[in-house]
Structures are given as structure tokens and as C-alpha cells.
Structure 1
Amino acid sequence: MKRWAGQVCLFFAFSLAGTSVISARLVSGKLGTFTIASVSLFFALLFLLPACGKKLMESLCEMSAKDVFSLVLQAIFGIFLFRMFLLYGMLFTSSMEAGILTGATPAFTALFAMALLKEPFSGKKLAGIAGTVGGILMIQGLLNAGNSFSLLHLGGNMLVLCAAASESTFNIFSRVFAVKTVSVQKKAIHPLVQTALVSAIAFILCLIPTLFEAPVRRLSEIGLGEWLSLLWYGLFVTALAFVFWYAGIKRCGAFTAAAFSGMMPFVSMLLSVIILGEQVGWQQWMGGVLVISGMILIGNGSIPAKVSKLQEVKSIKEQVVK
């Protein structure tokens, strides 16, 4: 069971993250971008801070300046920039397109893993990545003749792609932080604590721009459905998803994370059909099957964790020396 623990955590992390597009759609246009982010992070912290207990203060006392800087980078790319690009992008594109375009995350993460972490890979892993990316293309309909990105939504689509790139950068920073902790034989930060700290930093970053969006007036005008969406965004998309993510990335390499990130567009597509009533064709369903198949290949083709960590530690140390 331990062998699959990391992959199970990543599965739940990205499945919950896939609901972010639907949650954002229900409040997009009714609240400011940073207001949505701030309120959802506030709900997340209401759950996380009491759950951390004494572990939070103990971790803060043991952290170095480099650790704090790493967490700040994770907050900037994983929450602040990701949500800013996604929420602004959804003002100009559909929830279906936005969800599907987050499928660029596996490709970005895989490229970063090869270029920056020098992470080892196997034939099954590459086949899994290819299957995931191919599934994303099928879901989008790019493999069908005559289909392409809608020019009317090009600006929104580009913003969502920037969100995917931010998410991938966050994935790599998280993995680097986990590997560095192992390399210096430091006690790992508990996933709950790490999620709370990153959420708190992102909350502070979002507060100032929120003040320019008339948050009090606009929040007073929304209904129960919008408040429930914000609550879901905070508790599940932020708190639980990030806890699962940090628990998983400590056990799995960046290639594995790249494959499982394909769950984001797949879940988004399913929820767009079930909740928003959007229509999809057979190629989208086949794409979903490819995404799942790619994740299975990645799991079966995983290089032993010790080998992967040793390689990443060596790569990170070489970069520090340079």
C-alpha cells in the first residue's frame, strides 16, 4: 500500500483541483478576481490553522530563510498567479475550454522536470505522458480536422495557459523543496502545516488588490450558491487538495505528478457536463480514457523512489554549486 500512497494522494489532489474551474465559474463576474481568491483562502485558513495545532509553531521555529523563500515562491505560483490567470481567463472563455486548457500542465511539468531536475524516466513513463497529452488534445478536439482554438476566446485561452504554466512551476518548486529537505536530512514539514503557510502567504498577497474591487458591497449582493462555491473553493480546492498534493509530491517524482495533473481537465470536463449541462462528443470521452490510461502507465513504470530522489538531489546540488 505504501508504494501507491503517493499516487493516491496525487489522484485526489488533482481531482479536487479539477473542480476549481466549476467553482470559479459560479462566482466569476459577480466578484472581483482577488476577492474570490481572498475569501476562499480565508475559509481554507479557518480549517487549516486549528488543524495544525502546535505543529505550526514548531515548524516556524525550525525553518530557515531559504525555506520561507521557497514557500513564498510556492504561494506566488501555486495560488496567487494560478488563480489570477485562471479567474481573469474565465471572463473571456468557456468553463469547458478553461478546464481543458489546464491540461497543458502535464506537458509543462514534464518539460520542467527533464530540464531542471534531470529526473530519470522510463519507456512506460514517457508513454504515459504521451497518453496524457494525447488525451488532452482529444478532449480539446485538436486531433480532428478543422478544429482549433476559438479566436474569439484567444485572450482568455492564453491566460488559462499561463495558469497551467504557473501550476507546473509550482509543481517543480514543491518537488525541489521536498528533495532539498531529504538531502540535508531535515525533518519534513507536515503537509497540513505547509498548506497553511502557503495559503497564509497567498492570502496576504491577495488582500491589497482585493481592496480595489469593492469587496464588501459585492459580497453583500451574492446569494447562498455563490457563498457555497467560495466555501468549496477554500476547503476542498485549496485546503484538502494542497494537503494531498504535499503528501504525494514527497513520495513521487515530478514525472508522476505531471501525469496525474491530467485529472484536472478530465474532472473539469465531467463536471461541466453534469453541473453546467455543457455537451461533449465521443472524442472528449476517448480523451478522458487516454488520460486515465496514461496515469496507469506512469504508475506501473515508476522508477524506484530512492533512485529518483538520489538523482534529483545530485541535480539540485549541482545547480547550487553553479
Structure 2
Amino acid sequence: MRNDTARGALLAALACVLVGGSFTANSVLSGYPYAGGQFLRYGLAFALLAPVAGRDGARRVRALGAGQWGRLALLAAVGMVGFNLAVLAAERGAEPAVPGVFVGCAPVVVAVLGPLLDGRRPRPAVLQGAALVAVGAFTVQGWGRTDAAGVAFSLCALGGEVGFAVLAVPVLRPLGPLTLSATVCAVAAVEAALVGAVADGGAWLRLPGLGEGAALLWQAVVVTVVGFVCWYRGMQRLGAERATLFSGLIPVAAACTAPLVGTGSYGPAQAVGSALVGAGVALGSGTLSTLGARRHAASSRACSPQPPAHQNQTPGAARPELRGAAGSSHHTGPPPAPHPPASTLPPAGP
């Protein structure tokens, strides 16, 4: 169980760091048609994931019912295509920090909503960790200029982030992380194409330039293929409410990578916010208790007395030829011949 928690934490953290670091790629795609970019991103991701899922993945997909397909369609529409559209729409009337602050509240919402949907009470440690993550995300990003539309679309982005975690739980069990990632990417690609055809007509898709192609390739291969599989595997081990805590690492990763491309700075506020996010993630995800248990076990092993190597050793145990003759209790032949003194035995080994 402890190993599952540690692995789940690493997988969820890696997924969110990849997403946060991908914000630099979004700036390159500001002039590319939104729906067309989403179609290429998720379509390429599906093309890479489907062969890996193989026949077992196809068998799992064929076993899905109508309700599960509806949930997949909602997951892709709300948590992928809709989320990205809401963030872009919010940034038309607000600074990027505003939707970032709202999305940073997702751990709090999921920490309450996830357990309630399962018919259980929220965990106090997860709630406390989620609150720290939300405060840390706010500290990292600050609060910028906005209008009513910016706030409204930021709330939609928050709903998309929550839906990406909560809606995936019932279909994660029958599909598994790999097949779920491939299937939901296929659904999102179809939905993005429909949105583009309705909103932009024939201009919804064009050949990307060199920089745009590199950015789309990064988003498809690294952020979507690697990130989605890591995210759903982490969620499988941690549960939705604990895995969503790691979404607080998204603004931290964005703040750390922004100076590399000259789009931001990393100062004292970002350092304090990053520390708060890290503390909240460690508290709510159970990482602290896992590390404490490992240290306690290691110290217990180090302090326990070890018997000397020569104790409890049967005569001739160091020599396999003696163990074979004297250690067998099923010998049915004549009694073995007496062994020569140890000084006359041949050396064991070449």
C-alpha cells in the first residue's frame, strides 16, 4: 500500500509538471486555430496510444455500455476541449493569473465532491492539504486584471478541471489508464473537429508552421500521451481527491519555466507559494506518512541486534557437499561413508 502511494504520487506529480511546463508551448500556438490545434493534438495522441493498448484495449472498449460512452464524451467535452476553450476565453478579458487561481481551487472542490459521490465523508487531511495547495497556487500566480466575463469563464475552467478528475473515476476501472487515455483522446479529437467545423468553417484546420508543429508535437507526445497515462495511473493508486492535489504543481511548473523563455519571473512570492503547494500536497496525499513509516522501519532494522554470523549455523553449512550428505532426512540408501577431516577436504570452488 505504501509503495502504491509513493508511485502514485510520483506519477501524478510528473503529469502535472508536464502540463505546467507546456504553457510555454501555448504561447507559440496563439495564432493557430484553436479547434484545429486540439484536433491535431488529440488525434496524434490517439494514433500513438492505440497500438500500445492493443487487442486488450479494443476488447475493453467493446465492452463499454451506452452510459459509459456518454461519460467519456462528457469527460472529453468538459475536461479537455471545454477546459482549454474556457481558459482561452477567460484570458480575453482577464490576465492569465485569474483562471489559474480558479483552477488552483480544484483540489478543494474535488476533496469535497469526490468522497460525497462515493457516499463517504471527506478526509480531514485531504481537505487541509487542498486548502494549502489553493493558497499556494494563489501566491504563485497572484491576482490580475479581470472583468465579469473573465471570472465567468474562469469558473468554467474550474469546472473543467474538476470534471477531468471526477468524471474519469467510473471509466478508469474497466478501461485502465492506457486504454482510457487512448479512448478519451479519440473522442476529444472528434469533438474538436465538430467545434471547428461549426465555429470556423473551412478555416478550422491549416498546415502548422515549423514552430507551431513543434509545439503541437510536444503537446501530443509529451503532455498528452505521457502526461495522461501518468495522471490516470496516479489516480488509480491515489484516488481522485488525493491525485487532484498535485494540480497545484501546474502553476509552480509554469512559474519555474516562464523565465526560461522570458515570459515571467520567479521571485520570493513564487518561492513561498511553491513551498505552500509542496506542503499541501505532502500532507493531503499521504506522502509524509509514507516517508515517516519508511524511516521508522529503517531505524528499527538498524537498531535491532543482529546475531553473529557463526551462531545457529549447522556443521558443514558452508559446504554444499556436506549439506547434501548430512542435511537430508529422506536418504534411503546405505549410510554415507564417514567424511574425512576438514583439513583434507578439497576447496569449495575453483
Name the TM-score, length of structure 2 as normaliser: 0.73
Amino acid at match of 1:46: A
TM-aligned CA distance change 1:303 to 1:282, over 3 Å: closer
CA shift at 1:277, angstroms? 3.4
CA shift at 1:292, angstroms? 0.9
CA distance in 1, matches of 2:257, 2:152: 22
Cross-structure match for 2:242: 256
Cross-structure match for 1:5: 7
Cross-structure match for 1:239: 225
Q: 2:21 aligns with which of 19, 22, 32?
A: 19
Amino acid at match of 1:219: R
CA distance in 2, matches of 1:274, 1:47: 29
Residues 1-322 of structure 1: matches in 2 within 5 Å?
Answer: 1-28=3-30, 30-95=31-96, 97-141=98-142, 148-151=143-146, 155-156=149-150, 158-178=152-172, 181=173, 188-211=174-197, 212-213=199-200, 219-220=206-207, 222-300=208-286
CA distance in 1, matches of 2:216, 2:230: 20
Contact 1:11 1:260 in 2 (8 A): yes
TM-aligned CA distance change 1:91 to 1:276, over 3 Å: farther
CA shift at 1:206, angstroms? 0.9
3-state SS in 1 of match to 2:7: helix
Q: Which deviates more from structure 2 when the two are superposed, residues 118-127 or residues 32-41?
A: 118-127
Contact 1:110 1:255 in 2 (8 A): yes
TM-aligned CA distance change 1:119 to 1:252, over 3 Å: farther
CA shift at 1:157, angstroms? 5.1
CA distance in 2, matches of 1:157, 1:26: 25
Equivalent residues, number: 287
CA shift at 1:274, angstroms? 2.2
3-state SS in 2 of match to 1:250: helix
TM-aligned CA distance change 1:43 to 1:79, over 3 Å: same
Contact 2:196 2:204 in 1 (8 A): no
CA deviations over 1:80-132 (Å, ceiling 9, x no partner): 21121123334444455554543122223223225433444444323211211
Contact 1:31 1:215 in 2 (8 A): no
Higher gyration radius (CA):
2
Cross-structure match for 1:320: none
3-state SS in 1 of match to 2:175: coil
TM-aligned CA distance change 1:215 to 1:287, over 3 Å: farther
CA distance in 1, matches of 2:79, 2:55: 25
In structure 2, runs of 5+ residues without a counterpart are 291-350
CA shift at 1:15, angstroms? 1.6
CA distance in 2, matches of 1:290, 1:10: 18
Amino acid at match of 1:150: R
Q: Specify which structure has the bigger relative contact order, considering alpha-carbon pairs within 8 angstroms and separated by 6 or more residues.
A: 1
Percent identity over the alignment is 24
